């Protein structure tokens, strides 16, 4: 058993050991080859300045505004007392980076000025869209640079059952209208959106871009299915390898692109189809109508349904302003009743190029385009024509494509109708 003397010795040794440790620590002694530890007072909080466009927000007075109608870079900078010499330097340096004449009303700009009594403008930032920006450094040495805000991408879904038009269905669901245009472009070769009806449905997997959890832009469609009259039309974006451009294909590997688009307008409705016997609304007689009428507001862009050469861009009392295009030795198209043409005879045009604008010139009761289609010199109904797809996928790419399609179809099958979802990017 420990005696009182033993306990006293033990406590004394422990006290000596503690004192020794404290002394050695204060001397910052370390083992050979080892750096002595450095003890510093830890800050209770580290301040990180918020930044935008790479600039520290708390270092400047920051004001945001929007370009108004008939407002230009020069007039904006003059409001901030920027002299003419500096503005000219800025315009000259900007010439090959971003044309200041492209700045448009409705776009946002941000001004960074000093916090001292002069409130001198240091930076002017123009945003042509939510992601890209042009930074004008207005300090001693004027400089112009471009950049992009940090964006995150999420894969999301959209779906709906048609009730009215495709656009109306999207509008009711609260989905970004730009996605409607992407879907219409995607199916422009395969689905006749002017004959869709209530009960048809769609499901889409698409990229949605975010800046700090705020949606800013709809990206590319990854895959989609559109059901029309009980038939499913699939679309899958696939890039065979890094050397080839990506494209959209159906589930069998056939490209969705064909020789002709389904219609010469993005959105509209057919008011009069191809017919061998129709009562003419102006002439009040029964006659053949070998075209397809698409009603749309005056000024709506009319696009060429295929590549070709303009053989006529003229006016007649019946056709009004019209454009006629020869696509090859087999096919020719014509577009009537334009308010004005956008191309001239002899000009080469590409599929989807704007060739004129909807009007009501000639024998027309209201704004529309009459679309006419010739095959081997005979007028035919374009909606009944079957055109071969462009180059399909190669046999070597098919195994990878088939595996990809299977995964995409599984994801499309899980999409709940009318519900916006975020899905895995894997």
In the prediction, which pLDDT does 137 show?
A: 92
C-alpha span between 35 and 21 (Å, rounded): 18
In the prediction, which pLDDT does 321 show?
A: 97
The beta strand positions in 3-150, using DSSP E, are 51-52, 55-56, 61-66, 108-113, 121-127, 132-137, 143-148
> pLDDT above 70 covers what percent of the chain?
79
C-alpha span between 326 and 347 (Å, rounded): 11
In the predicted model, is pLDDT for residue 248 greater than 60?
Answer: yes
> pLDDT above 90 covers what percent of the chain?
33
Q: Which residue has the higher pLDDT, 280 or 63?
A: 63
In the prediction, which pLDDT does 394 show?
A: 83
Count other Cβ atoms within 10 Å, centred on residue 121: 22
Mean pLDDT of 165-186: 78
Q: Which residue has the higher pLDDT, 269 or 296?
A: 296
* Mean per-residue pLDDT of the chain: 81
Decide yes or no: CATH 3.30.360.10 for domain 55-148. no
Q: Look up tokens 């010469």; give the residue.
A: 264
In the prediction, which pLDDT does 48 show?
A: 64
In the prediction, which pLDDT does 47 show?
A: 58
Q: Where are the domains of the chain?
A: 55-148, 152-258+397-423, 269-384
In the prediction, which pLDDT does 284 show?
A: 41
Structure tokens at 124: 């002017």
Q: What is the pLDDT of residues 332-385, one digit of tens each?
A: 999 999 999 999 999 999 988 999 999 999 988 889 899 999 999 999 888 778
In the prediction, which pLDDT does 6 show?
A: 58
Q: Regarding the domain delimited by 152-258+397-423, which CATH topology (the fold level of the hierarchy) does it fall under? A: Nuclear Transport Factor 2; Chain: A, (3.10.450)
Q: Regarding the domain delimited by 269-384, which CATH topology (the fold level of the hierarchy) does it fall under? A: Glucose Permease (Domain IIA) (2.70.70)
C-alpha span between 79 and 183 (Å, rounded): 43
Q: What is the pLDDT of residues 183-234, one digit of tens each?
A: 888 888 888 776 778 888 899 999 998 988 888 888 899 999 999 888 899 9
Q: What is the pLDDT of residues 293-318, one digit of tens each?
A: 888 889 989 999 999 999 999 999 98
Residue 260 contacts residue 349 (beta carbons within 8 Å)? no
Q: Look up tokens 């002439």; give the residue.
A: 283
Residue 203 contacts residue 156 (beta carbons within 8 Å)? no
Q: What is the pLDDT of residues 9-60, one digit of tens each?
A: 555 666 556 555 555 555 444 434 444 444 444 444 555 678 888 888 889 9
In the prediction, which pLDDT does 30 show?
A: 42
Q: Which of 167, 177, 186 is nearest to 234 (CA)?
A: 186
Q: Can 55-148 and 152-258+397-423 be said to share one CATH topology? A: yes
C-alpha span between 84 and 261 (Å, rounded): 51
Q: Which residue has the higher pLDDT, 7 or 338?
A: 338
């Amino acid at each position: 058993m420990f005696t009182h003397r033993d306990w006293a010795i033990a406590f004394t040794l422990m006290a000596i050991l503690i004192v020794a440790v404290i002394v050695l620590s204060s001397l910052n002694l370390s083992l050979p080859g080892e750096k002595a530890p450095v003890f510093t007072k830890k800050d209770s909080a580290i301040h990180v300045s918020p930044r935008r466009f790479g600039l520290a927000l708390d270092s400047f007075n920051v004001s945001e505004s929007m370009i108004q109608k008939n407002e230009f870079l020069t007039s904006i900078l003059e409001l901030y007392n920027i002299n003419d010499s500096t503005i000219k330097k800025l315009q000259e340096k900007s010439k090959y980076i971003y044309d200041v004449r492209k700045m448009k009303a409705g776009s946002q700009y941000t001004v960074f000025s000093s916090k001292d009594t002069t409130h001198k403008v240091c930076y002017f930032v123009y945003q042509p869209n939510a992601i890209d920006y042009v930074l004008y450094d207005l300090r001693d040495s004027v400089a112009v640079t471009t950049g992009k805000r940090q964006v995150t991408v999420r894969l999301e879904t959209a779906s709906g059952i048609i009730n009215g038009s495709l656009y109306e269905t999207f509008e009711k669901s609260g989905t970004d209208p730009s996605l409607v245009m992407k879907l219409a472009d995607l199916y422009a070769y395969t689905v006749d959106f002017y004959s869709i009806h209530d009960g048809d449905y769609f499901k889409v997997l698409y990229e949605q871009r975010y800046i700090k959890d705020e949606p800013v832009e709809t990206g590319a469609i990854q895959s989609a299915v559109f059901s029309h009259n009980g038939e499913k039309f699939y679309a899958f974006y696939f890039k065979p390898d890094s050397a080839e451009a990506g494209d959209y294909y159906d589930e069998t590997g056939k490209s969705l692109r064909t020789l002709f688009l389904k219609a010469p307008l993005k959105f509209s409705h057919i008011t009069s189809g191809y017919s061998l016997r129709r009562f003419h609304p102006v002439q009040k007689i029964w006659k053949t109508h070998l075209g397809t009428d698409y009603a749309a507001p005056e000024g709506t862009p009319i696009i060429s349904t295929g590549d070709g050469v303009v053989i006529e861009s003229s006016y007649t009392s019946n056709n009004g302003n019209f454009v006629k295009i020869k696509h090859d030795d087999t096919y020719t198209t014509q577009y009537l009743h334009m308010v004005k043409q956008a191309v001239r005879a002899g000009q080469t045009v590409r599929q989807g190029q704007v060739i004129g604008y909807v009007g009501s010139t000639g024998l027309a009761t209201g704004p529309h385009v009459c679309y006419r289609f010739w095959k081997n010199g005979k007028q035919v109904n374009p909606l009944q024509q079957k055109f071969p797809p462009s180059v399909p996928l190669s046999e070597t790419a098919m195994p990878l494509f088939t595996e990809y399609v299977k995964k995409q179809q599984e994801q499309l099958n899980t999409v709940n109708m009318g519900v916006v979802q975020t899905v895995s990017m894997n």
